Amino acid sequence: MVNRDERWSMQGATALVTGGSKGIGRAIVEELARFGVTVHTCSRNEEELNSMLNQCQMMNLRVTGSICDVSNRAEREKLMDQVRTIFNGKLDILVNNAGGVGPGWKAAIEFSLEEYSNLMATNFDSCFHLTQLAHPFLKESGRGNVVFISSIAGTGRVEGLAVYSSTKGAMNQLAKALACEWAGDMIRVNCVAPGYIATSLIKPVTENEENHKQLTSRIPLRRLGEAEEVASMVAFLCLPAASFVTGAIIYVDGGHTANLS
Ligand code: NDP
């Protein structure tokens, strides 16, 4: 067992966090970087990414970034090539965070095949493929960590999110399978499943006061979560202090899941 200081340190580690320009991903990038981790991130919108990178630089955080649409196979391969070069072939942490709700909240029957495929590619294919590509570098680390940003929708039903929920349910299963397959490579794999977190993703639902009230009435803590509250759980999972945690799905939801009847 390593000593106490080492158990709570990630100093010198390297990480790839997808979708770090805003929201939960950005909070994860900043949290890890404050622990002394060198972080690479990506997103599609160049302006938002650059603005975020500039702010990290002003805070003296070691963060780099590149443009990548994670739904595209060739772009994922290019991203992992960049990561291999930047980190000299050793990656300690992969956080699969980039994702969205696609065409938004609507009945499954209204999904076109293209909308379905795009959402699966963004939320699930990307995670599977990036994690597969990262395997040799995580193995090289000797203390690899993969964290999938799932959702409470991956376990329980959320109206209008049939496809989104399926991507997150698949992610939960993938995390359990990889945790077992890769334990011998000293790679831990976990899911963090947030409830409703105040980001641009859920703004269309929560900006209506009535919706907001109805939604928070089902959450025992009676409020939306903050991106930083998800980021701190991700950081914990990546610490040596969490060395016996793998294959877990951890809810960060203000008690929402516990309150489902
Ligand atoms: P935001 O929309 O605030 O941020 C999403 C981030 O992912 C942005 O940086 C965005 O940048 C990036 N991104 C989206 N699609 C792609 C893509 N195809 N390629 C590369 N980057 C992409 O969302 P959140 O922070 O709320 O969500 C982050 C994760 O958390 C998602 O996986 C979501 O499903 C999950 N989650 C969120 C919850 C919430 O209540 N907010 C609840 C449960 C889970 P850009 O658009 O420029 O590409």
Q: What is the pLDDT of residues 23-47, one digit of tens each?
A: 999 999 999 999 999 999 999 999 9
- Residue ranges in the chain whose pLDDT is less than 70: 1, 261
Q: Where are the domains of the chain?
A: 4-195+225-251
pTM for the predicted model, two decimal places: 0.98
User: Which atom, in ligand 1's list, is nearest to the CA of 164?
Assistant: 34
- Sign of the dihedral through C-alpha 233, 235, 241, 246: positive
Ligand 1 centroid, distance to 208 Cα (angstroms):
21
Predicted local confidence at residue 95, as pLDDT: 99
- CA dist., res. 129 & res. 74, Å (int): 11
Predicted local confidence at residue 261, as pLDDT: 66
Does ligand 1 come within 6 angstroms of the Cβ of 201? Answer: yes
Predicted local confidence at residue 73, as pLDDT: 98
Predicted local confidence at residue 260, as pLDDT: 84
Does ligand 1 come within 6 angstroms of the Cβ of 237? Answer: no
| Residue having the nearest C-alpha atom to atom 33 of ligand 1 | 99
Ligand 1 centroid, distance to 5 Cα (angstroms):
33
Residue 119 host element (H or E) = helix 113-120
Question: Which of 2, 100, 35 shows the shortest CA–CA distance to 237?
Answer: 35
Q: How many helices and strands, by DSSP H and E, does the chain display? A: 10, 7
User: Which atom, in ligand 1's list, is nearest to the CA of 123?
Assistant: 32
- CA dist., res. 95 & res. 124, Å (int): 13
- Residues 6+ positions from 167 with CB-CB distance below 8 Å: 99, 119, 120, 123, 124, 154
What is the CATH T-level fold of the domain 4-195+225-251, as seen in this structure?
Rossmann fold (3.40.50)
Predicted local confidence at residue 190, as pLDDT: 99
Active site residue ranges: 164
Does ligand 1 come within 6 angstroms of the Cβ of 178? Answer: no
Ligand 1 centroid, distance to 19 Cα (angstroms):
6
